[in-house]
Amino acid sequence: GLFCCQNYPLYIRSVPTENELKFHYTVHTSLDVVDEKISAMGKALVDQRELYLGLLYPTEDYKVYGYVTNSKVKFVMVVDSSNTALRDNEIRSMFRKLHNSYTDIMCNPFYNPGDRIHSRAFDTMVNSMMMQVC
């Protein structure tokens, strides 16, 4: 999931289509955790390492990772807990890729910040990423 600064979703994608609504709910609730972490940060943080919020919320079924950009665009990723192969570095790299793709989208003059993201390239990238994980 990808959310704008006002916390409305710009992009949500999940691989297993079942329980999609549950994932949506999880992602939305995780936004609260993200906001909490952001407010806890205090000063403006430019370092990318701090953009990565890390494991937000481990539940019994899955883990939620968060990542925020300097423009308060939040990336939230929900992964299955059974997928233990995912390490923190991998999550970081995935967020990095997401951020890069998002930047590319922003470069497109036809894209208005705040719109839903319809970019096919972005979709492709996200799908490939999710395929890697699953």
User: Which residues contact other proteins (rule: CB under 8 A)?
Assistant: 5, 38, 44, 48, 69-73, 93, 96-97, 99-100, 103-111, 113, 118-121, 124
In the block, tokens 């970081």 appear at 92
Q: With respect to other proteins, which residue has the nearer C-beta, 23 or 52? A: 52
Residue among 55 and 121 whose Cβ is closer to other proteins: 121
Give 17-76 as a DSSP string: -TTHHHHHHHHHHHHHHHHHHHHHH-S----HHHHEEEEEEE-SSEEEEEEE-TTS-EEE
For the bound state, the minimum distance from the C-beta of residue 132 to other proteins, rounded and expressed in Å, comes to 13
Three-state secondary-structure class, residue 123: helix
Nearer to other proteins, 29 or 103 (CB): 103
Q: Which is nearer to other proteins, 58 or 113 (CB)?
A: 113
Q: Minimum Å distance from CB 7 to other proteins?
A: 12
Place of tokens 């665009």: 73
Q: In whole angstroms, how close is the CB of 25 to other proteins at the nearest point?
A: 25
What token pair was written down for 10? 């710009």
